[in-house]
Amino acid sequence: MTPREVSALRRRLLAWYDREHRRLPWRGARNPYRIWVSEVMLQQTRVETAIAYYRRFLERFPTVARLAAAQPEEVLKAWEGLGYYARARNLHRAARALVERHGGRLPPEPEAFRTLPGVGDYTAAAVYSIAFGRPLAAVDGNVRRVLARLLALGLAVDSAAGGRRIRETAERLLDRDRPGDFNQALMELGALVCTPRRPACPGCPLRALCRAGRSGTAAHYPRKAPARPVPTVPVAVGVIFKDGRVLVTRRPEAGLLGGLWEFPGGKIEPGEAPLEACRRELAEETGLAVEGLEPLGIVRHAYSHLRVVIHAFRCRFAAGRVRLRSAAAHRWVSPARLGELALPQATRRLLPLLGAKGKTGAR
């Protein structure tokens, strides 16, 4: 793109953004903490879903200091349903680090912010360009798609060379006078016009400058490396009743769904029947002997990198003391109060099954 074309692109994109951008609760805010929270939420979540969570989260934790002072469990509970819980744990840890090291404020330099848990190049660039006007290009999935189409990029955007090309282009195009608006404008164009499946090229403000748009080949971009198949993992879990309460265990902080509560269980080994797997896992995971194992239901859930099929059973406590193998903590909870805990989505989906069968299960 020539310097003249770059100027035209900035002008057209910003004029379109000024006219067409959605009025979202975090737009127009200059409060860096609020912008940061919105950027973290939006990384894996649709705007429509994030709005209600964003409002509730900020009502509960209106400042870095309030977030830092919260218990991890409270933060996870406020995040429940948004998924990708590492985002919430890291946000919380980062808030604590900000209170310890920077008096509860974001540091003046993005490099210092970048060292906090969960803060990557994208988050640092988005927050510092929007809140502080720093000339940093923020490259997310929307931006990658728009730029790949503008260039008609033959390289896969998820390859090292493709990623470099996208980043260089984003930095070259960035409007130095309005970097925050420019970043948001590219993302907004990707969300509203240059969408993944149906790019609206005829009405796009960048069409005259866009190689894919002009040649009618937008659907061919962005190119991606072939996806790896997503494995399916069969899992057996047991809802153990004892005196009208059920056992839940808390996952270790580190790792997938860290800090959330779930029913004990684990992977079904090849060739193993779900019921046998459940009996074995309960003994190994909790140290308890159980009786009366019977099927409760099956729940399927997809994560970004794997799918799980959960075979749930209910049973009665028979003997033993809880001795956890890999969980961090345990509780005996009345089924009616399970909903108050921070639970993974898949576990939450088991609750109606439990409610329907709770009476007979609580023998």
Size of the site for ligand SF4 (CB under 6 A): 15
What is the per-residue binding string for ligand SF4 in 35-54, x denoting contact by CB under 6 A?
A: --------------------
Please say which residue, 197 or 363, places its beta carbon nearer to ligand SF4. 197
DSSP-based three-state secondary structure for 205? coil
| Residue from 67, 218, 247, 277 binding ligand SF4 (CB under 6 A) | 218
Task: Say whether 39 is catalytic.
Answer: yes
Least distance in angstroms from the C-beta of 144 to ligand SF4: 12
CA angle 25, 60, 251 (to 5 degrees): 110
DSSP-based three-state secondary structure for 277? helix
Please say which residue, 44 or 215, places its beta carbon nearer to ligand SF4. 215
Classify 304 in phi/psi space as left (phi over 0), alpha (psi -120 to 50) or beta: alpha
Please say which residue, 139 or 201, places its beta carbon nearer to ligand SF4. 201
Using CB under 6 A as the binding rule, whether residue 13 contacts ligand SF4 is answered as no
Output b/e per residue, 122-134; b: 16+ Cβ within 10 A.
Answer: bbbbbbbbbbbeb
Three-state secondary structure of 71-87: CHHHHHHHHCCCCCCHH
Least distance in angstroms from the C-beta of 184 to ligand SF4: 16
Type of residue found at 189? L
The CA distance from 113 to 292, in Å, is 54
Chain-centre distance for alpha carbon 43: 6
The CA distance from 22 to 17, in Å, is 9
Least distance in angstroms from the C-beta of 27 to ligand SF4: 21
Least distance in angstroms from the C-beta of 155 to ligand SF4: 17
Residue bearing tokens 């894919």: 212
The active-site residue, picked from 5, 20, 39, 284, is 39
Please say which residue, 18 or 100, places its beta carbon nearer to ligand SF4. 18
Least distance in angstroms from the C-beta of 123 to ligand SF4: 24
* Position with the least CB separation from ligand SF4: 213
DSSP-based three-state secondary structure for 269? coil
Task: Write the burial class of residue 108 (CB in 10 Å: 0-12 exposed, 13-18 middle, 19+ buried).
Answer: exposed
What is the per-residue binding string for ligand SF4 in 136-175, x denoting contact by CB under 6 A?
A: ----------x--xx-------------------------
Q: How far is CA 161 from CA 166, 224, 237, in A?
A: 9, 12, 44
What is the per-residue binding string for ligand SF4 in 177-216, x denoting contact by CB under 6 A?
A: ----------------xx----xxx--x-xx--x-xx---
Interaction site with ligand SF4 (CB under 6 A): 146, 149-150, 193-194, 199-201, 204, 206-207, 210, 212-213, 218
Active site residues: 39
